[in-house]
Amino acid sequence: MAAESLSRVVRLGGEWLSSSSVFELASGLARLALDSSAISKLSSSAGPEVSFSIPDDLTIEETRASVLFQDGGVPQQNDVDYYSLAALDGISALLDHGSSALGPVADAVAALSCEALRADLSCFNLTDSGDGSSAKDDVAVASDFKVFFNGSKLVVNSNNPASATPAISRIPAVYGNFREVCRLLHYRTRVQLSCAAFRAGSAEAMSTALSSLALALYNLADTSSSRAKLLLDSLPSDELRSILGAQRSSSNIDSIKQLLSYSQAALIDKDYIRSVHQIYCLLEAVRKTVCWEATVAFVSLEGGGIIAAVTESKNPPLSAPTGADKKKGERRKKVLGKGSSALMQFIKESLLSGDGAANETNSISASTLFEKWAQDFLFFLDPRNSRFEILLEKLKDIVASNESRRLPKLPKGTRDFAKEQMTVREKAFSIIVDVFKRHGATALDTPAFELRETLMGKYGEDSKLIYDLSDQGGELCSLRYDLTVPFARYVAMNGLTSFKRYQIAKVYRRDNPSKGRFREFYQCDFDIAGQLEKMGPDFEVIKILTELLNELDIGDYEVKLNHRKLLDGMMAICGVPQEKFRTICSSIDKLDKQSFEQIKREMVNEKGLTEEVADAIGTFVKERGPPMELLCKLKRKGSEFLENIESHLALNELEILFKALGKAKCDSKVVFDLSLARGLDYYTGVIFEAVFKGSTQVGSIAAGGRYDNLVGMFGTKQVPAVGISLGIERVFVIMEQLQKDRNETMRPTETEVLVSILGDDLSLGAELASELWDAKVKAEYMLDKRLMKHIGRARDSRIPWMLIVGENELSQGVVKLKDVVAAKDYDIPRSRLVEELCRRLNK
């Protein structure tokens, strides 16, 4: 095609080329035009003249793409030749465009294969947990595939992911990874194409993305080929299998594996032209594999009449089906999902369009027809084909317009709680409130958001996690980060000098979600404010913590304990400048997640400590052990801690506390740990943190400490306080896992009686249920003529008693009381119903 005849023009000037533009120019689908700014720039360029040779094995598209970037400037990497870098950029742009185009097509073809294979879709039952523990791309793939399957009568869902064949079960992970890798390549390519010159290190950065793409392409081809083979084996005719199997040679998985091996070896050798060429060939081979899968899936789903003809007669001419054939076809009619059906219709219209298509199909052999279909699919799924963009738009419409795709989703770091989970939560909250009330606390509730000035400056480096709200009416507000600062604000605002309170409420943190870490979660707080006996409140909150964790029955745990003044004394002894005490505490607080070597690098490189000071801190933070044992070690004669006023005071306070904990028989759960720092700025005395020691890794599950100056930040007088905060969400994770491990199930309701009306008389159901409700009996009613429906409802909900009323019971003036567990029935006079039922329920 002459350049002048191309209507699409890519203009090079002020803006950089996109991957799509590079593809169009390299494929001869568009012509290049230079605007005045580009011409001026070229004419004024005084760069050195560069000569290069083009490798013979590059395709015409690769060559054109490479030449486009010969004016990228002089390379800054002396060990890589000029043309290699240009080729890397140009062919990477082709790969970026090609892989992005292949993704949705591969998804759609795999969906058709799943329909044809009558696949088990359990592996697509993925949801985003919101806590970072699920692969978002895997979940997105599963969601998109469900759109194709919506309404299908072919696929099944056994809710058992292990029952699916690997060619199906691997789809979410393999195709999700492919999406992730395509995004990385697109990002790297966009960065490189937008640069005016080659950047140092750009080749290495691009090669990382290309290496990932090559492996992702191989995995995609592997699953695609496996599904095609399964489809091939499921066809009823040997001849049909032979005809379609012959189309496999161009997409042989062994040749694809060889291309992968060549490309990776070339990348290691920094032979960028050879490596990127091999990956380009790999992409084309994978496209052919997907086309082969598409052909076999299409024949399997749509070629019923043809398959029957091939089965009944060897290589017959194709003709219009007879009446008998039509009846057979009707019996074999396949009900596809809405998305799959729309896609199949589009493919048929595209492949079989043309005036002579029907006549041509009727006059050729099955062998020739299938060969033609294979070639048609290769052309149809080629990005250079004018209808390919229409196909992509069709796929986009299918995915975007289907109702199941429009299901709402949760924000990251949040969760819904189903009835079974709420049963566990309500039980836990009941235990927690009971413990808090046992210690004389009263309930308090505060707003979910506070003035921003109330929260800022209280959380040290964690202040960056505070959720700020948009200005609404002249006040700058933020969602509460915890319940302690609002409590201190309340005490100061109301002029209280003594207050023992508990609060269970949600708090919010702009954190990165992970397993056990959320952006919205409950905290359960208990605080004691006021000038009371020395270390008395500190003892009580730690005792409460052990009571809570014991009664929640989560398993083994330990309470790590330290003193903020002991930490300050330790840092003074080590030589840390006083103005860096708080920021170094924040570093030390990460020791439960990072090694000391990592923390040391942070303290030295980022926070300005010397190596000697950091090493001195390292010797102290390794100290941990039984409370009284380590305390005696730190108080022995000649100890540096006794020479520091702050640390000496802390050791004396800890001695009082440890003795009280010993008398209360809860010191066995306490570990004196000098690495515990608690990064929050407002702590002034004892600090502690509870850690679960079981197999479920969730981090700390409770924490707290003394904060004598926090209330004074909001008022004119200081009110000392100490408190504990239970991270109940992490406790729930543990409880739910223990429930699974023990194979326990909890009743989601407390219903005691199911009122079963064998008919549709609502007034009778209302009368009987209301009598029970008035007697404080927990009851539900159900109207249905079928007795087994009632029994099934009672068994599924584990309701212990049924009250059955049908025509016989009404005529006899009785009701039938059924013990569901014992399977025994009792006839009770209607007048004595409530009395007898309450007796049996011990009410």
Torsion sign across C-alpha atoms 411, 694, 736, 508: negative
What are the strands of the beta sheet with 442-443, ordered from one edge? Answer: 442-443, 499-508, 520-529, 721-726, 700-706, 686-692, 557-563, 670-673, 624-625
Within a 10 A sphere around the Cβ of 777, how many other Cβ atoms?
20
Torsion sign across C-alpha atoms 386, 389, 390, 392: positive
818's tokens: 């059924």
Distance, CA of 185 to CA of 180 (rounded, Å): 9
Distance, CA of 679 to CA of 677 (rounded, Å): 6
Distance, CA of 291 to CA of 377 (rounded, Å): 6
Point out which residues pair with 523 in neighbouring strands. 505
Tell me the H-state helices in 323-364.
Answer: 323-331, 338-351, 357-362
pTM: 0.56
792's tokens: 């099934």
Output phi, psi for 258, to 5 deg: -65, -40
Angle between helices 82-116 and 60-67 (to 10 degrees): 130
Distance, CA of 115 to CA of 100 (rounded, Å): 24
Distance, CA of 249 to CA of 291 (rounded, Å): 12
CB of 752 closer than 8 Å to CB of 838: no
198's tokens: 């080659």
Distance, CA of 339 to CA of 22 (rounded, Å): 32
Residue closest to 447 by CA, chosen among 494, 480, 471, 472: 480
Within a 10 A sphere around the Cβ of 551, how many other Cβ atoms?
13
Distance, CA of 703 to CA of 700 (rounded, Å): 7
pLDDT number for residue 574? 87
Domains and CATH numbers, the chain: 59-69+82-309 (1.20.200.10), 419-740 (3.30.930.10), 753-841 (3.40.50.800)
477 three-state secondary structure: strand
Question: What type of residue sits at position 48?
Answer: P
Torsion sign across C-alpha atoms 164, 168, 173, 176: negative
Residue closest to 722 by CA, chosen among 712, 710, 707, 709: 707
Cα–Cα distance list, 698 to 593, 737, 760 (Å): 11, 11, 51
Residue closest to 427 by CA, chosen among 732, 798, 794: 732
Within a 10 A sphere around the Cβ of 413, how many other Cβ atoms?
21
23's tokens: 């593809």
Distance, CA of 753 to CA of 776 (rounded, Å): 11
| Cβ neighbours of residue 479 closer than 8 Å, sequence gap 6 or more | 448, 449, 466, 467, 469, 507, 508
Structure confidence by residue, pLDDT tens digits, 85-96 = 777 888 899 999
Distance, CA of 159 to CA of 164 (rounded, Å): 10
Distance, CA of 544 to CA of 406 (rounded, Å): 47
Point out which residues pair with 559 in neighbouring strands. 670, 690
Torsion of CA 11, 15, 20, 26, to 10 degrees: 50
Counting as low any pLDDT under 70, the low residues of the chain are 1-16, 33-54, 69-83, 128-134, 158-163, 195-201, 237, 239-240, 243-251, 303-334, 352-371, 373-374, 401-407, 472, 515-516, 679-680
Structure confidence by residue, pLDDT tens digits, 322-340 = 444 444 444 445 688 888 8
- Sequential DSSP letters for 546-562: HHHHHHHT---EEEEEE
Distance, CA of 582 to CA of 564 (rounded, Å): 10
669's tokens: 């759960």
Which of 590-613 are b and which e, b meaning 16 or more Cβ less than 10 Å from the residue's Cβ? ebeeeebeebbebbeeeeebeeeb
DSSP 322: -
Distance, CA of 664 to CA of 541 (rounded, Å): 12
243's tokens: 């005809």
